[in-house]
Structure formats: C-alpha cells, structure tokens
Amino acid sequence: MVEALRSIAGVCHVEFVRGDEADPAAVPDLLFEVPHGATLAQHYDQVRSELRGDYDDGLRDFFFVNTDVGSPELALAVAKEVVSLAPQRTAVVVRCLLPRTFVDTNRTIDRDAVAVASKPGEMTPGLPPWVRHSADRDLLLGRYFAYREVVTDAFAKVCGAGGRALCVHTYAPRSVDVAVDEDIATALHRAYTPDRIETWPLRAEVDLITHDPDGAVLADDELAQRVEREFTADGVQVARNGTYSLHPSTLAFEFAQQYPHKTLCFEVRRDLLLDEFVPFVALHPTAEAVARMAAPLVRALL
C-alpha cells in the first residue's frame, strides 16, 4: 500500500524516514509536504532548458527570492529527529522539484488553465503569464498533475489513517507586494534597493496558517497550539495567519478541508535558516540554524 508513493524524476522526491523499531511495511503517521521544494539553481536551470518559449533572464532572479529556501532541509530534519526519539514511528517527506517560477504546485489548477498575471497583494498564479508556448504549458501541467497525484495519495494514506500532515514553507523576511507579471524582475530589483527594502513590512519569524479567509479553523489546532508554545519558549516570534490565511486557491486549503484538523501549514522566515538573506542569489541553509528551528517542531510532534 505504501509502496505506491515513489519519487518521479523532475517532479518530486519521496523519502521514507523510519524509526529503528518501526514496522517496515507501516503506513507513515507523519507526512511532510514541501510543495516549493525546488530550491536549487539546478532545479530552475533544468526545467528552463526543457522549455521552448522565450523567457526573460530576470526570471532566474525571481526564482531565487520566491522559492522556499530551507524548507526541504527543515522537513527532513524534523522527520529524522521525531523517529529517532520515537523509534516506532514512520514519516514520509514529499519534496516537489518543480520551480514555482514556472508552475506552482500549491495551487489548484485545472487541466484547461491558461497563464495569468496577479496584482500586488494577490496570491501568485498557478501558471504565470510568461508561460505562453503551448508545448511548455503541456509539459508543466503534465508534471503538475503528476505531483498532485503523488501528494493526494500521500495525504490519503497518512491523514486517512489518522496521521498528521505538515505543509512546510519558508518566506522572505519582508512582505514585498509586487505584481506577478511580465515586469516581475524589474519590479523586484526596484523593491529590493537599499533605500526601499526596509519600507516593506517585516514578517513574523514563524507564521501558522490555520484558518480560511472567513476565520474557520481547518488546521489541527491542538498541534498548532503546541507548536506555538514550543517556538515561543525558544524565543521565536509566532503569528497566526499573519501574512495570509489558507486560501481557497491552494492545495493546502483543499487538503485541510478534506482532512479537517489533521494538517498544519506554516511558514518559517528564511533568514532564520541562513547566515544571511541575500536576494537574487542561490542560498543554502546552515545545519545549525535548521536544527534550531526544527527542535520546537519536534517537541510539539512528540
């Protein structure tokens, strides 16, 4: 039953993390979904090399500031520590390998979707406006639906059996609201100039995304309370839905509705996982910072 969850080249990496005393055939009781897990330059460059359309070179800069740096490492660190301390448990980490610069796998996208732009403050689109070539659209949507099938199966197996799922994200230190359109790279470079960057609001260090836009709690609120308590005990600032709520356009919303009080979606501020947040370049989290941010999550899950 569990064996159906497998990695797909260019789409996702699936990793099972089993405790020393776990049944090797057991269904995981913890799922870590990392929908924006394409965080490396090679992830962007590989997909870009397969696309036929014309794409502005500045999109690579957009990729570096908009991908969830540190989220795969954080998810895996939490999974490994949980099963180390509770060796009868099993976790599974599903990391997406598709750059959200070209298709966002945390969006609900229809098969007949067309590329669209978004205005400042709006949710970024599932299929951005620069994906105009029909062959590129088919390639990206094909991989999107392959990923969606894997994570839908993962949520069904884990949450359907009474387990929990965590949707792991990281976000840039400041809320930089610009339109996601053909001028995205220029707008971002303008927004990140030294005289403007500090005018944008500083985000919470951790944001727990627990309710829908109407205020209905969909997340596992008991787990959210424990996570908030443990981070606060370590001196980490925690907000609830500070930047945004569970938006109906996201797959996280869809899964939270389907498995009420079995999921928790959260954001960690990227600078807490890095030596320094620098825009428009490849960034890599430090092991020490990842371990520090993983520890409160581990305690909450135990």
Read off the pLDDT of residues 17-27 as tens digits, 9 standing for 90 and up.
Answer: 999 999 999 99
Domains in the chain: ranges and CATH: 2-172+203-301 (3.40.630.40)
Distance of CA 19 to the CA centre of its chain: 25
- pLDDT at residue 1 above 50? no
- pLDDT at residue 153 above 90? yes
SS3 159: helix
pLDDT at residue 86 in the model: 98
Element (H, E) at 90: strand 90-96
pLDDT band at 159 (very low <50, low <70, confident <90, very high): very high
- Rounded Cα gap, residues 201 and 239, in angstroms: 14
118: left (phi over 0), alpha (psi -120 to 50) or beta: beta
What letters, b where the CB count within 10 A reaches 16 and e where it falls short, cover 103-122? bbbbbbbeeebebebbeeee
DSSP category for residue 40: S
Distance of CA 135 to the CA centre of its chain: 26
Contact 189, 61 (CB under 8 A): yes
Global pTM reads 0.96
Average pLDDT over the chain reads 96
- Condensed to tens digits (0 to 9), the pLDDT of residues 178-209 reads 999 999 999 999 999 999 999 999 999 999 99
Q: What percent of the chain has pLDDT over 70?
A: 99
pLDDT band at 123 (very low <50, low <70, confident <90, very high): confident
Contact 100, 36 (CB under 8 A): yes
Helix residue spans in 35-130 (DSSP H): 41-50, 59-66, 71-85
pLDDT at residue 3 in the model: 55
